[in-house]
């Protein structure tokens, strides 16, 4: 099973794509006309030192990734699955036929422009701490303006949020084996602070017509294959939601004998994959089918947690049946109560989702975590 994966922002470097632009002169010229500058000069020379700026980085990485994909598939078979890390998801959708090269350039150009307009917040990587540990530290210290942005591997989670709180968090995550690395980003990407950008980008996406996918694309926001009708929702929600990379890798590992190939510049995703594989083998549980509903849970755990069950129903409902029943009855923002959280009702922030093929859960706003459906009930 061949899977191609595309990196996101941070993979850029001067000199990238040097062997690609002359091989695809028409597409390179098309990108130049849309962007208003030479994409080849930006990537290979970067004379103005602008390649690191978001509004330039995103089109550059997309073009290099798209051309590299075309080169590889012209010489060999197409993949069985594709996925991309944040910005890289646009390359994955291009590879799957959702839109053509011109549309892809226009989409990432707008995305980069919008994201470069905000300077709110910071991001940091937390090393050697589980999701549960991170969430507990944030709760205990009143750091409620921080979101979990990227689940890269079991030992690397990126947090994102208000600058003051990200800075306050630093000494808290420098105890024991934990490490804390402030990232050189211009804003708090993949956090609630990107909501205005998400709204503007969703409106922009409405201008385009997208085609059915001919290769399964694993979505960042759900770690499950896209449904064609969810494309606009997924791409806009991605700006405020988590990149569920670790869980996406585990999903693919459950599909058979995966062969991963990084497309575009660098090998950052290949290195992350090595850490994931070294951490633990994929679970034996049956994975959701390719046509499973793409859901929008934002901060999944890196490890499955045992679920208490009851025997009231005979036979008991499967996790997928519980999810389907919940999503039919309840929309986003449903107020729920739980015996675990007794002080006040909370709101759902996502649809229900099956995690790891066996757990029915929904993310609760304000708690920075998710609950099993068996642990909550909708308010009357």
In the chain, where the domains are located: 2-118+191-279, 122-182, 319-378
pLDDT class of 33 with cuts at 50, 70, 90:
very high
Q: Which CATH number fits domain 122-182: 3.30.420.40, 3.30.70.250, 1.10.10.10, 1.10.260.40?
A: 3.30.70.250
- What's the pLDDT score for residue 71? 97
DSSP letter assigned to residue 21: T
Tally of CA atoms within 13 A in the half-sphere of 166 that contains its CB = 25
Is 86 catalytic? The answer is: yes
- Please, what is the average pLDDT of the chain? 87
Q: Where does residue 221 rank: exposed (0-12), middle (13-18), buried (19+ CB within 10 A)?
A: buried
Contact 235, 201 (CB under 8 A): yes
Crossing angle, helix 54-75 and helix 25-35, to 10 degrees?
A: 160
Is 85 catalytic? The answer is: no
Percent of the chain with pLDDT over 90: 68
d(CA 264, CA 5): 9
Catalytic residue among 160, 186, 190, 265: 190
- What's the pLDDT score for residue 296? 33
Q: Where does residue 27 rank: exposed (0-12), middle (13-18), buried (19+ CB within 10 A)?
A: buried
Helices (H), 207-312: 231-237, 245-253, 268-279
First to last CA, the chain: 47
Instruction: Please give the model's pTM, rounded to 2 decimal places.
Output: 0.74
Catalytic residue among 85, 86, 222, 242: 86
pLDDT class of 283 with cuts at 50, 70, 90:
very low
d(CA 106, CA 127): 35
pLDDT class of 314 with cuts at 50, 70, 90:
very low
Q: Is the pLDDT of residue 184 over 90?
A: no
Contact 5, 82 (CB under 8 A): yes
Q: Which CATH code for domain 2-118+191-279?
A: 3.40.366.10
pLDDT class of 294 with cuts at 50, 70, 90:
very low
| Best CA proximity match to 161, nearest among 132, 185, 127 | 185
DSSP letter assigned to residue 193: G
């Amino acid at each position: 099973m061949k899977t191609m994966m595309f990196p996101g922002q941070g993979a850029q470097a001067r000199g990238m794509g040097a062997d690609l632009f002359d091989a695809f002169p028409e597409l390179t010229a098309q990108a130049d006309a849309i962007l208003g500058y030479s994409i080849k000069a930006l990537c290979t020379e970067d004379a103005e030192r602008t390649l690191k700026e978001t509004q330039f980085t995103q089109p550059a990485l997309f073009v290099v990734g798209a051309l590299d994909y075309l080169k590889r598939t012209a010489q060999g078979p197409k993949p069985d699955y594709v996925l991309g890390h944040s910005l890289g998801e646009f390359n994955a959708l291009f590879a799957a036929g959702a839109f053509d090269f011109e549309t892809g350039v226009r989409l990432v150009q707008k995305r980069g422009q919008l994201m470069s307009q905000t300077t709110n917040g910071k991001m940091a990587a937390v090393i050697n701490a589980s999701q549960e540990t991170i969430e507990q530290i944030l709760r205990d210290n009143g750091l409620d303006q921080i979101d979990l942005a990227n689940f890269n591997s079991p030992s690397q989670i990126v947090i994102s949020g208000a600058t003051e709180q990200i800075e306050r968090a630093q000494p808290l995550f420098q105890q024991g084996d934990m490490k804390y690395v402030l990232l050189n980003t211009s804003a708090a990407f993949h956090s609630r602070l990107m909501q205005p950008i998400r709204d503007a980008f969703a409106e922009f996406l409405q201008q385009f017509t997208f085609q059915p996918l001919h290769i399964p694309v694993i979505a960042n926001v759900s770690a499950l294959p896209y449904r064609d009708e969810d494309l606009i929702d997924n791409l806009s929600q991605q700006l405020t939601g988590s990149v569920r990379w670790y869980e996406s890798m585990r999903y693919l590992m459950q599909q058979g004998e995966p062969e991963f190939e990084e497309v575009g510049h660098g090998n950052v995703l290949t290195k992350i994959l090595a850490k994931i594989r070294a951490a633990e083998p994929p679970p034996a549980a049956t994975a959701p089918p390719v046509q499973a509903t793409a859901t929008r849970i934002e901060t999944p755990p890196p490890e499955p947690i045992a679920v208490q069950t009851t025997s009231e129903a005979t036979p008991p409902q499967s996790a997928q049946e519980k999810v389907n029943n919940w999503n039919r009855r309840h929309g986003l923002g449903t107020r729920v109560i739980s015996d675990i959280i007794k002080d006040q009702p909370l709101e759902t922030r996502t649809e229900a989702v099956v995690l790891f093929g066996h757990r029915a859960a929904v993310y609760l706003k304000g708690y920075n975590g998710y609950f099993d459906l068996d642990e909550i009930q909708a308010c009357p």
